[in-house]
Amino acid sequence: MNPTLLKDPVGWWTALGRPFLRLPRWGAIAALLVIVMSLGWMVHATSQLDVAEKARVAARPKDSIGDVELYRRVTRRVAEGESFYVASLDEQRQHRYPTKPFVTVRPPTLATLTAMLGKQGGKIVSGGLFVVCLALWLWRLDKAGVSIAERGLAVVAMAIFGITLFRESAMLFHEVFAGLLLAIALALVRQDGKMWPVLLLGALALAVRELVLPFILLWAVFVAFDRNWKGVAAALGVVALFAVGMMLHAQAVAANVQPGDLDSPGWDALNGPRLPFYAMAKLTALVMIKPWIAAPLAMLPLVGWAALGGRLGLFASLWFLGYFLMLALFARTNNNYWVLLVLPAYAIGFALLPRALWELARVAVKGPKSLS
Task: Dump pLDDT digits (tens) for 271-312.
Answer: 999 999 999 999 999 999 999 999 999 999 999 999 999 999
Phi, psi of 38 (to 5 degrees): -65, -40
Q: What is the pLDDT of residue 363?
A: 97
Ranges of the chain with pLDDT below 70:
1-3, 168, 371-372
Q: What is the pLDDT of residue 171?
A: 80
Q: What is the pLDDT of residue 268?
A: 83
Residues 281-305: b if buried by 16+ CB within 10 A, e if exposed: bbbbbbeeeebbebbbbbbbbbbbb
pLDDT tens digits, 172-208: 889 999 999 999 999 999 877 778 999 999 999 999 9
CA distance 103 to 19: 40
Sign (positive or negative) of CA dihedral 114, 116, 119, 123: negative
Q: How far apart are the first and last CA of the chain?
A: 21
Q: Cα 360 to chain center, whole Å?
A: 26
Pinpoint the alpha helices (H) of 80-208.
Answer: 84-94, 109-143, 148-161, 174-187, 196-208
Q: What is the pLDDT of residue 2?
A: 56
How large is the C-alpha radius of gyration of the chain? 21
Q: How many CB atoms lie within 10 A of CB 356?
A: 24
